[in-house]
Amino acid sequence: MKKGVLIVSFGTSYREAEAQNINPVEQAISAALPGYEMRRAYGSRRIIKKLKERDGICIDTVSEALETLAVAGCKELIVQPTYVIHGYEYDELVEILREYLNQFESVRLGHPLLHQQSDYKELICGLNEVFDFRSSSDAFVFMGHGTGHFANACYPALEHQIQAQGFTNVWIGTVEGYPEITDVKEKLEQLSCQKAVLAPLMLVAGDHARNDMAGEEDSWKSELEEKGYEVRVILKGLGEFEGIRKIFAEHIEEAEM
């Protein structure tokens, strides 16, 4: 029986971000599935269009990748998204996948990064291995994407659990959800630190990280600097961290019908 794994990312138009963030996650998932043919798809049609027009690079949509796998004779399929939460993109992936169920003998779908309680613990552990929160007097602020979807609750839940583990200098904000940067600034005022570290809580350090977070104007960096903080930016997406890649690989084993 021919077996395939489809890895679905939102996507990025930054080639170096693809190499540093998306490729390593795909490699970790593939390593967990020897004998499976891997295909990539991007969820963002805007990014797919930009890559084709700007660079001549063709990336499949989810539907295109599923069609290709079905035509190639794939019978046993695992679909693993690299999303952080169960948001609108994940819901859309589920809907598309339902249209192709009858083209495969077996289809399993893996979960995003934050799915169950153990994922939160592993994520916090993975971030601490990289940033070493406890040994620093700096404030750490992570930028999540945020969403109007109810899954946005994952962000304040993650912050609560980080704080509960004693990392009281670590905060979570979002670009398009709650908490916002205004909420983060209010919390930072409770600390005595004068230095802040900004890093993305996203798979890829793309537009949001480079512009909304780290830009010189109208950004989280500029807002914190206006408040008198000395700001250090770390433009590394979650895909660069081994502990986070491990969570995605584990989700393959838990993929459900």
Q: Hey, which residues are catalytic here?
A: 145
Altogether, the residues listed in the chain come to a count of: 257
Which residues are CB-contacts of 16 (< 8 A; sequence separation ≥ 6)? none
State the Cα–Cα distance between residues 80 and 184, nearest whole angstrom.
Answer: 32
Angle between helices 117-131 and 242-253 (to 10 degrees): 160
CB burial of residue 168 (10 Å; 0-12, 13-18, 19+): middle
